């Protein structure tokens, strides 16, 4: 018992010494994976990254500014449709459709955010939920059918690998690296946002709205900005999803998608930006695991796994 203490101290200090190495280790694994796994697993990993980006977007809203959204699946769908429709029209090269989708979702997020964010947290969650339910129905409307393809959706061609990389990597690897790069960029941007003047204003909003307002923070404008940036990041994830899955249809974006993103957010830890990755892993793999255990009880097993992970991970949840 007596020598337990020194070894414990040693372990902590070793861990502390290793701490700066973690990001490098993760980066090396992330860069090496595409050359180590088969193309299907790589596709799944790309989907993990895409959902991680979408959850990152939600985290900017919930983690930094303290607002809740049950409707981010709508922005995911908007980004995906923007890319698919632009490609279908042959309007621009596919790489440019990603920033186009981002700008569209930024503007849409701001416009929807302005009125919606006058609502208090729970009511805001419901208002955004309405958005998530409405989007698939709107896409199906016959007046938009010639653009959206209605219930039948739009096929997106396989995005070509840039000529300079063609010799070295295949399509699945290219899409993985593209998603990884964009995701990393958005992660850095979110970290910077959290530490910026805007970020501090948003955190003040999260902690106490009245106090923030009395300190001179324009609450509804800042909330709308947070909502817009959050919608933009999630929209970029949707745009990447269209390129990777190469198909969009209303049934790909049911309101359950918004719930799945929220579940991923809570699993990864609200306010924990790297936790978005854990959330992405959960969103992609846990439904498959639940189904592989039992088809009839897949929903119940999903719920059990969710509860098990929440309890095994309890102290990480809700951390800012």
Give the residues lining the site for other proteins (CB under 8 A): 15, 19, 22, 38-41, 43-44, 47, 140, 145-146, 149-153, 155, 157-158, 241, 245-247, 249-252, 254, 256, 268-269, 274-275, 277-278, 281-282, 285-289, 291-292, 295-296, 298-299, 309, 312-313, 315-316
Q: For other proteins, give the closer residue by CB, 111 or 305.
A: 305
Q: For other proteins, give the closer residue by CB, 24 or 40.
A: 40
Q: At closest approach, how far in Å is the CB of 249 from other proteins?
A: 4
Q: At closest approach, how far in Å is the CB of 44 from other proteins?
A: 7
For residue 247, the surrounding DSSP H or E stretch is strand 247-248
* Distances in whole angstroms, Cα of residue 225 to Cα of each of 98, 117, 190, 239: 20, 10, 13, 21
Q: Which two tokens stand for residue 44?
A: 């799944």
How many residues can be counted in the chain? 320
At residue 243's C-alpha, the angle toward residues 239 and 248, to 5°, is 75
Q: At closest approach, how far in Å is the CB of 271 from other proteins?
A: 12
Q: For other proteins, give the closer residue by CB, 110 or 285.
A: 285
Q: At closest approach, how far in Å is the CB of 199 from other proteins?
A: 19
**DSSP H helical ranges for the chain:** 4-18, 22-32, 39-59, 65, 72-88, 94-116, 121-140, 145-148, 171-195, 197-207, 209-214, 219-245, 255-268, 275-293, 298-312
Q: At closest approach, how far in Å is the CB of 83 from other proteins?
A: 14
Q: For other proteins, give the closer residue by CB, 31 or 155.
A: 155
Q: For other proteins, give the closer residue by CB, 214 or 312.
A: 312
Chain centroid to CA 310: 19
Q: At closest approach, how far in Å is the CB of 117 from other proteins?
A: 29
Q: For other proteins, give the closer residue by CB, 113 or 269.
A: 269
Q: At closest approach, how far in Å is the CB of 306 from other proteins?
A: 12
Q: What is the DSSP letter of 60?
A: I
Start-to-end Cα distance in the chain: 36
Q: Do the Cβ atoms of 126 and 260 come closer than 8 Å? A: no
* Distances in whole angstroms, Cα of residue 215 to Cα of each of 195, 201, 210, 273: 18, 9, 9, 27
Q: For other proteins, give the closer residue by CB, 220 or 274.
A: 274
| DSSP characters over 266-315 | HHH-TT-STHHHHHHHHHHHHHHHHHHH-STTHHHHHHHHHHHHHHHTGG
Q: At closest approach, how far in Å is the CB of 118 from other proteins?
A: 30
Q: At closest approach, how far in Å is the CB of 101 from other proteins?
A: 16
Q: For other proteins, give the closer residue by CB, 121 or 144.
A: 144
The four Cα atoms 210, 191, 315, 14 give a dihedral, to 10 degrees, of -140
Q: For other proteins, give the closer residue by CB, 19 or 168.
A: 19
Give the CA count within 13 Å in the CB-facing half-sphere of 213: 7
């Amino acid at each position: 018992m007596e020598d337990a203490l020194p070894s414990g101290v040693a372990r902590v200090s070793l861990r502390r010494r290793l701490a700066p190495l973690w990001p490098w280790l993760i980066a090396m694994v992330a860069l090496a994976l595409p050359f180590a796994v088969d193309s299907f697993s790589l596709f799944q990993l790309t989907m993990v990254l895409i959902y991680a980006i979408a959850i990152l977007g939600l985290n900017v809203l919930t983690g930094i500014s303290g607002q809740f959204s049950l409707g981010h699946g709508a922005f995911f769908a908007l980004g995906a449709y923007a890319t698919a429709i632009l490609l279908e029209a042959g309007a621009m090269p596919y790489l440019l459709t990603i920033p186009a989708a981002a700008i569209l979702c930024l503007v849409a997020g701001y416009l929807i955010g302005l009125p919606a964010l006058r609502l208090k947290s729970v009511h805001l969650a419901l208002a955004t939920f309405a958005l998530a339910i409405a989007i698939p129905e709107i896409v199906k409307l016959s007046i938009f059918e010639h653009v959206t393809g209605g219930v039948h959706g739009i096929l997106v061609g396989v995005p070509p690998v840039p000529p300079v990389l063609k010799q070295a990597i295949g399509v699945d690897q290219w899409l993985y690296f593209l998603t990884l790069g964009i995701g990393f960029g958005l992660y850095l941007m979110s970290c910077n946002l959290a530490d910026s003047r805007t970020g501090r204003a948003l955190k003040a909003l999260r902690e106490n709205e009245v106090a923030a307002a009395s300190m001179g923070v324009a609450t509804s404008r800042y909330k709308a900005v947070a909502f817009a940036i959050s919608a933009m990041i999630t929209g970029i994830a949707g745009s990447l999803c269209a390129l990777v899955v190469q198909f969009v249809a209303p049934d790909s974006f049911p309101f359950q998608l918004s719930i799945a993103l929220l579940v991923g957010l809570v699993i990864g830890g609200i306010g924990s930006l790297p936790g978005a990755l854990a959330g992405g892993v959960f969103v992609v793999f846990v439904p498959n695991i639940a189904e592989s255990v039992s088809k009839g009880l897949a929903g119940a097993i999903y719920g059990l796994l969710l509860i098990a992970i929440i309890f095994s991970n309890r102290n990480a949840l809700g951390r800012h």
